Amino acid sequence: MEAILKPKYRKFSDLLVHPPKVIKNVFSNITWNINSDKKVVYLTFDDGPIPDITEKILLALDIFDAKATFFCVGENVKRYPHIYKKILDSGHTAGNHTFSHMNGLKSGTEEYIDNIEKASKYINSKLFRPPHGRMKSSQQILIEKEYNIILWDVLSYDFNKKLNKITCFNNVKHFTRPGSIVVFHDNIKASNNMFYALTQTLLLYKEAGYKFEALTEAVIKNQIPLPVKKSKIFTGFF
């Protein structure tokens, strides 16, 4: 577990897996991780709910007594409300990931905000994660008035078909430490890599004494404060 305490960049693409401190400090109004000295990891799942896939994730989380956060796509919640309900009934939290997985950089500000609002009819949450981790500054300014914008500390890259499942797990293993927000995807494209990386992550960190908790507004608000520069605008780093 030594790598968990002192993660080092191994190659250039690691900058995407684990955003460097300099970026996190500049975009300090965004939650990248939870400042914590406790052995807690925040697992997050983007793009669901999807039948079978999300349900299997819920089973895996249950086995490890793990709670997580699901950044749901509104139209998927509309289509599969029973799975969305199951997520919440199991003690996990949900976040808004737009209604139609809209790419902020390719959308007008009004259109983008409308899409988030449409999703909010199905997803009752003040947590928001922009699809593709991108949005325009004009969008960010409006969103952060109402939402906590959550990105991540560790990206498993499970959605990348060119990466195998072991590489995805190694991404998580190498960079995850107390308070990390880790991204997986509950979509069809990522499922093979995701299930392997997720179960290995649950096994490894449970054994190392970690707890898996869900993100809430209170968790974000009550974290250990860090001296950081005030908000700048985030426009995406890839």
Tokens of 12: 């250039």
Beta pairing partners, 72: 96
**Minimum CB–partner distance for residue 101 and Zn ion (Å):** 6
**Is residue 209 packed enough to be buried (19+ CB in 10 Å), middle (13-18) or exposed (0-12)?**
exposed
Options 97, 153, 185, 186, the catalytic residue: 185
Among the listed residues 85, 98, 159, 108, the one whose alpha carbon sits nearest the alpha carbon of residue 130: 98
Site for Zn ion, rule CB under 5 A? 46-47, 131
Residue 65 CB neighbour total at 10 angstroms: 11
Tokens of 44: 């997050």
Known catalytic membership, residue 153:
no
Give me the torsion for CA of 46, 103, 145, 25, rounded to 10°: 80
Options 46, 47, 153, 186, the catalytic residue: 46
Known catalytic membership, residue 132:
no
Of 104 and 131, CB closest to Zn ion = 131
Of 151 and 219, CB closest to Zn ion = 151
**Separation of alpha carbons 53 and 76, rounded Å:** 13
**Minimum CB–partner distance for residue 103 and Zn ion (Å):** 10
**Minimum CB–partner distance for residue 68 and Zn ion (Å):** 15
**Minimum CB–partner distance for residue 170 and Zn ion (Å):** 22
Of 47 and 213, CB closest to Zn ion = 47
Q: Identify the helix (H) or strand (E) that includes residue 148.
A: strand 148-149
Residue nearest to Zn ion (CB): 46
Of 100 and 235, CB closest to Zn ion = 100
Residues classed as catalytic:
46, 185
